[in-house]
Amino acid sequence: MRMLGWLLLALGSCTAGAQVDPTAQAPAASASAVASSSTPPATASEPPLAIGELGTDPASLDALKDVELIRRISESPHAYFRFINTQFRNAACKRLGARIATLPKVRLHGDPHVEQYAVSSLGRALIDFDDASLGPAALDLLRFATSLVLTARQRALPASGPSSAEHELLTAFLAGYRDGLAKGALPKEMPAFAKALAAKFERDRSPFLLAADKAMQPIDAANETLAREGLTALIQAESKANYKRLASYYTLKKVGTLKLGIGSALGRKYLLRLEGPTAKAEDDVILELKEVADRSNSPCLESFPSGAADARREQQELANNRSLLLPTLLPGSTFWTNEWLANYEEVRIKRLGSETDLRDLAREAGLMLAAEHQKSSAVSPAVDPALLAIDDEFEIVLRTQAQELARATQTAYEAFRKDFNVEQ
C-alpha cells in the first residue's frame, strides 16, 4: 500500500492481494530433477477445455450489477484468469487427474500468478493466500505456469520454438522451483524490477491513509457489528500471544466495507482505521478483515482456513516484525485479519520492463513456491522435497497443460466479453 498515486489508481483496476495495490483501481512424485532448459515445448496431447469449464455464467454472476468490476475483469485474458480461480482449479484437478492422485498434499498458495509478486517493508514474496489449501503441489505450479503463458502473450512476446519467451519463462520458473527444493533461498540482492518497485516507497504515510479512507465504502449496522466483533477477537488473540499494546491502540476511528480485488472481488471484506501507537493521525493503523475462500468442494483439495493468516504471520516473523498487528484467523469465523502496509508494491504486467524482468520474476516465484510447499502446518507435516521433484515426463505435462489452459482462458474471456456486452 502506499502513496498518492495509490488511491487515484486505487479506485479503478484492482488488486487481489492481501491488501490494496496502490497502483490498482478500486470500484464500489517423482524424485528426479526438473528437466533442463533443453527440453522442447510439449505439444498438446489432449483436447482443449470447453468454454464451460473456464466460463462464467452471466445469469449466476451477482457481480453483473457491478459495471466497474466487469470492466476490470475484461481488461485482459490474464485479468479474467484472476477472476476464475475456482473454475481453473476444478479444471486443473480434472485434467491432471490420476497423475496427482498419489502425490503428497502440501501447503498450497492456492492462487499464484504473476501479479501476486509483491515487494513491501517485509521483503518480497508471493502474497494473497486467501485461497490457501492443502493439495498436490502441481496445482500451484500449473496455475503459475498458465499465468506466465498468458503474460507472455499479453506482452506479445515470441510464442513458438524452443527459444520462445513462453518456453524460457517456464524453464526459469521450473528451474527456480527445482533450486528451491534443493534448499535454495532467494538471493539477498533483489532483481532490477523489484528494486524499481521498492524505490517507490515513501516515508510520508499521509497519502496511504487517505487512500485507505477513500477505499472504505458505506457500511450498514449488521456489517459494522461483524467488523467490530472481528476487532474484539483480534484484541483477544494479541493478548493471548503476549502483544503489549495500550488499549487506545485499538480505538476504532473509521470502518467501511471494501470492494477491491478481482479474484477476491465477490468475498466480504472490511477495512478499519485504528488509533495506533499515538494520538497522531500519521501513525494510524489500517486493519483489513477478509473472508477466507471455501475450497471444501474442490475435487482434489482440502480446506486450510488458517493458511492466509499463517503465511502472513510467517512473513512478519521472518522480518522480525512484531510491531504489526497479529495476522489471525478469527475463532469460529471465516475471516482473517491483516494490517495493511504503507510501503507495498505489487507487480503489474503492463508495467514490467523487459523480458529479463519476467524471467527473474518467474525464477523467484519458483523459489517461493518451493519454500511454501515444504512447510508444515497444524494440520499437515512438512514434506520431503524428494517427493515434490518434477521428472521430465511431468514437466512436459505441465508445459502442455499450461498452454492448453491459457488457450481455454482466452476463449472463455472472449465469451465473457460478448456475454457482458463489453466493447473492444
Write the pLDDT tens digit of every residue in 140-193: 999 999 999 999 999 988 766 666 899 999 999 999 999 999 988 999 999 999
- Of 341, 358, 378, which marks where a domain is finished? 341
pLDDT of residue 62: 59
Assign 40 a pLDDT band (cuts: 50, 70, 90). Answer: very low
% of residues, the chain, pLDDT over 90: 71
Specify the pTM: 0.86
Same domain, 335 and 352: no
Tell me the mean pLDDT in the region 134-139.
Answer: 96
Tell me the residue length of the chain. 424
182 & 211 share domain? no
Does residue 424 sit within a domain?
no
User: Can you tell me the distance from the alpha carbon of 209 to that of 326, in angstroms, rounded to the nearest whole number?
Assistant: 20
Counting the structural domains of the chain, the total is 2
Q: What is the pLDDT of residue 264?
A: 78
Split at pLDDT 50, 70, 90, the class of 419 is confident
For residue 127, is it within any domain? yes
* HEC-encoded secondary structure of 1-13: CCCHHHHHHHCCC
Does residue 215 share a domain with residue 192?
no
Which residues lie across from 285 on neighbouring strands? 274
In order, the DSSP letters of 101-135 are TTSPPEEE-SS--GGGEEEETTEEEE---TT-EEE
Question: Domain check: are 332 and 380 in the same one?
Answer: no
The number of CA neighbours under 13 Å toward the Cβ of 391 is: 7
Average pLDDT, the chain: 86
Specify whether the CB–CB gap between 36 and 42 falls below 8 A. Answer: no
Residues 159 and 308 in one domain: no
Q: Could you tell me the pLDDT band of residue 29, with boundaries at 50, 70 and 90?
A: very low
Whether residues 97 and 180 fall in one domain: yes
Q: Are residues 323 and 415 in the same domain?
A: no
DSSP class of 338: E
The band of 327, judged by pLDDT with boundaries at 50, 70 and 90, is: very high
Most confident range (mean pLDDT) of 39-43, 64-68, 355-359 is 355-359
Grid coordinates given for 73: 475483469
Three-class secondary structure of residue 272 per DSSP: strand
| Per-residue pLDDT at 141 | 98
Q: Give the model's pLDDT for residue 161.
A: 63
- In sequence order, which residues have a C-beta less than 8 Å from that of residue 92 and are 6 or more positions away? 138, 139, 142, 143, 401, 405
Q: Is residue 233 part of a domain?
A: yes
One domain, residues 171 and 241: no
Q: Is 105 within a domain?
A: yes
Measured CA to CA, the distance from residue 75 to residue 71 in angstroms comes to 6
> Which amino acid does the sequence have at 19?
Q
In a domain, 355, yes or no: yes
- Residues 19 and 156 occupy one common structural domain: yes
Question: Is the pLDDT assigned to residue 17 strictly greater than 50?
Answer: no
What value, to the nearest 5°, has the Cα angle with vertex 266 and ends 260 and 271? 45
Q: How deeply is 150 buried, as exposed, middle or buried, from its count of CB atoms within 10 A (0-12, 13-18, 19+)?
A: buried
d(CA 71, CA 53): 22
> Where on the phi/psi map is residue 316: left (φ > 0), alpha (ψ -120 to 50), or beta?
alpha
In contact, 255 and 344? CB cutoff 8 Å:
no
* Beta-bridge partner residues of 302: 134
Mean pLDDT of 244-256: 97
Would the pLDDT of 36 be above 50?
no
The answer to whether residues 132 and 16 belong to one domain is yes
Q: Which domain holds residue 325?
A: 206-341
Q: Look at residues 297, 325, 341 and tell me which one is the last residue of a structural domain.
A: 341
Q: For residue 294, is pLDDT > 60?
A: yes
Of the three residues 312, 341, 370, the one that is the final residue of a domain is 341
Average the pLDDT over 367-396 and give the result. 93
Of residues 88, 14, 74, the one with CA closest to residue 265: 14
- Please give the pLDDT value at position 37: 33
The pLDDT of 234-238, averaged and rounded, is: 97
| 370 and 312 within one domain | no
Q: Please write the tens of the pLDDT for every residue from 269-279.
A: 999 999 999 99
Could you tell me if 87 and 221 lie in one domain? no
